[in-house]
Amino acid sequence: MASEDLDLDMMKTPCPVCESNNTKVIQKIMDLPHFPQMWFFNLSCSDCHYKYNDFINLSIKDPFRYIYHAENKEDYTTKIVRAANGTIRFPQIEAIIEPGPNAVGFINNIEGILRDIQGKVKFLLSDAETQEERKKIMDYITMLDEYIENNKPIDIIVEDPFGNSTIIPADVTKLETIKLSEEEAEKLKTGFVVFEGVKEKHD
């Protein structure tokens, strides 16, 4: 994916996990197609190997839902910029990626995300206790193969209560952009604790 790094800043800071000083922080202002001014943050510790990535959209602050209707091989190259607090949904295959305490940001295309889901599902095979469970997992893996290899029509929905996650479409006519209401945004998971009492006191 073509992008222009407008700024780069590197520094060292104590690791939030092991407190080692062998931790690097890289910050970039990235100019991405359709979504300029994305701030990228990367932290990596060379001792405990803890890593953390995140994105902040400097041009959009409101909560948004993006929906892309993928129908062919080109559509499957559509890029997803997922910040740590972003939620990704694939309704047709009933898959959802929600932020958790250790959620990180990433950039990947639709095919890459489906392959990542497939890889995680394969790990479930070792935990299957019955033949029925194993067959159910294998059927799901086979279904994902059909989507990936045949580029079957699929929708991808990206939601972010802070407006930091986005979709870079292969075909802009297939992208829907919907501003979320305050009530809809509050229902989304964020991956960290929000102290509402403090927020109300200082707003």
Domain locations along the chain: 1-59, 61-202
Fold held by 1-59: N-terminal domain of TfIIb (2.20.25)
Q: What stretches in the chain show pLDDT beneath 70?
A: 1-10, 30-38, 55, 57-60, 101-102, 190-203
Question: What is the model's pLDDT at position 175?
Answer: 96
Question: What is the model's pLDDT at position 33?
Answer: 61
What would be the CATH architecture of the domain defined by 61-202?
Sandwich (2.60)
Q: How far apart are CA 51 and CA 101, in angstroms?
A: 13
The single-letter DSSP state of residue 161 is T
Question: What is the model's pLDDT at position 118?
Answer: 92
Going by C-beta distance under 8 Å and a sequence separation of 6 or more, which residues neighbour residue 63?
159, 160, 161, 162, 163, 179, 180, 182, 184, 185, 188
If we measure between CA atoms, which residue out of 44, 43, 9 comes closest to residue 28? Answer: 9
pTM greater than 0.75: no
Question: What is the model's pLDDT at position 24?
Answer: 83
Question: What is the model's pLDDT at position 1?
Answer: 40
Q: How far apart are CA 165 and CA 44, in angstroms?
A: 22
Question: What is the model's pLDDT at position 5?
Answer: 46
Q: Name the token pair of 196.
A: 């509402």
